[in-house]
Structure 1
Amino acid sequence: MKRISAVVVLSLAAISAAHAQSAGQWVVNAGWSHFAPQGSSDPLTVNALGQSTVLTGSGGTISSGDTLGLTATYFVTDHIAVATAMGLPPTWHLNGSGTLSGIGELGTARAWSPAIIMNYYFGEPNARFRPYLGAGATYTWFSNVKLSNPVSTGQILYSPVVGTALEGPTTVSLSKSFAPVINGGLIYNINSHWSISASVAYSWVSTRATLTTQSSVGTVTSTSKFKVNPIVTFLGVGYRF
């Protein structure tokens, strides 16, 4: 009976240890990611006819969005892990605000912003619940950039002074950028392989939009900086290797 009891105790201990996030293990998570911008934009600055004019009161906002989130985490030690966050890039919807609010949607862009984060996990490796905090960096660039008709034709450059002289076919470029990221979360271990995780992250992402318009009086460039500063929440299911 003593031998049987010892075997049972050792087996239970092994099962408990298998629940752990330990050094050398990988955890892959997939789930829902919500993107909620918290920043603002600078007024549009128009460079034309050798002069720069700030369109006071003009601006834009980026709407919230949802997408599929993916993370891959490698445990360097029982408490320190390196995570990569990615997933399907969300589509940003830029809407006019202030003097541009009547235009509605200014354009859309698909934002790619993979991140690398170093996390510290609290508690013992075999705990069911493991909270964590971390910091890292993200790199953001854009694809599938599309302008609405009032922007792509340069209609937003109409003014009582010059009329439609500054209007014309318009293209846009969005700058790429690195930004710091901070995050925190909680993991609940269901069994030796499966877990549920929830996290929230904040990053200081910004981009500069440059509009280039081919008007009847020459090339017109218009710029505005967008401080996106999103809060990103994630809820996913993980599998441990």
Structure 2
Amino acid sequence: MKIKSLSLAIISAAVLLSGAAQGYEAGDIIVRGGLASVNPDVDSGNLNVNGFPLSQNAKVDVNNETQLGLSLTYMVRDNIGVELLAATPISHKLQGKGDLSFLSDFAEVKHLPPTLSVQYYPMGNASAFQPYFGAGLNYTIFFSEQFVGAGSDAGFRNLKLDDSLGLAAQIGFDYLVADNWSVNAAVWYMDIDTTGTFKDGSNNDYKIDVSLDPWVYMAGVAYLF
């Protein structure tokens, strides 16, 4: 909520301001950085054991996480850019839900969400206020999966989450406040689906399908090269 509030405050300030700073042109490189809040909109399937549902309500949830975000945009035309979004590794806790609520925070996983997008800048290069819209592909890499708490106590092991390839969409803006500096805020929606697998001490096979589909909010600064 803090990231959302900051983004709204920056947008409101930018709308009230006007300036003569130069906008973007073909060949420009824009580096953006700031705090990125990843808020999964989780849709969990049921946990299966050896191919059979454990119950009709054995599900998982995933917590929100804030980390440093970074993006690089190359302007191929005055109003068209190509952006690569990156971040420092993002860590999430897996939480039991429904009939698995007793597990609480039972596992941890890290991921990297590189996202390649084509952006459209409608305002032209004479505007200090530069909103943009983007669409592209996200590839999420999961790693460092491990059980903690009740998951570790239960003897679960070999946790693995499949990597994900999906669509992504974004909306954002820059407001130029100096020759090369802007304030920035952006929102992404990412289609991220994964399958988690693991075993227990008796070598039973567990499997669960989860759609994470996060909203990602970032607020920070941009520098124009």
Confirm or deny a common fold (TM above 0.5). Answer: yes
> Which residues of 2 match residues 1-241 of structure 1 at below 5 A?
19-47=22-50, 52-152=52-152, 155=154, 168=155, 170-215=157-202, 219-241=203-225
- State the shift of 1:52 in Å: 2.7
For residue 73 of structure 1, give the secondary structure of its aligned residue in structure 2.
strand
* Matched residue type, 1:180: L
What's the CA shift string for 1:53-82, capped at 9, x where partnerless?
Answer: 442211111011100000111000000000
Count of aligned pairs between the two proteins: 207
What's the CA shift string for 1:28-71, capped at 9, x where partnerless?
Answer: 01101011111221110000xxx634422111110111000001
Of the two, which has the highest radius of gyration? 1
* Matched residue type, 1:20: G
**Structure 2 portions without partners, runs of 5+:** 1-19
Preserved contact between residue 156 and residue 198 of structure 2 (Cα < 8 Å):
no
For residue 76 of structure 1, give the secondary structure of its aligned residue in structure 2.
strand
Preserved contact between residue 152 and residue 171 of structure 1 (Cα < 8 Å):
no
**Aligned-partner Cα distance in 1 for 2:206–2:88:** 30
Preserved contact between residue 19 and residue 191 of structure 1 (Cα < 8 Å):
no
Q: Give the equivalent residue in structure 1 for 2:17.
A: none
* Matched residue type, 1:25: D
* Matched residue type, 1:223: K
* Matched residue type, 1:45: N
What's the CA shift string for 1:165-200, capped at 9, x where partnerless?
Answer: xxx552211101101000001110112210111111
- What's the % identity of the aligned pairs? 28
* Matched residue type, 1:229: D
Please provide the CA RMSD for this pair: 1.7
For residue 150 of structure 1, give the secondary structure of its aligned residue in structure 2.
helix
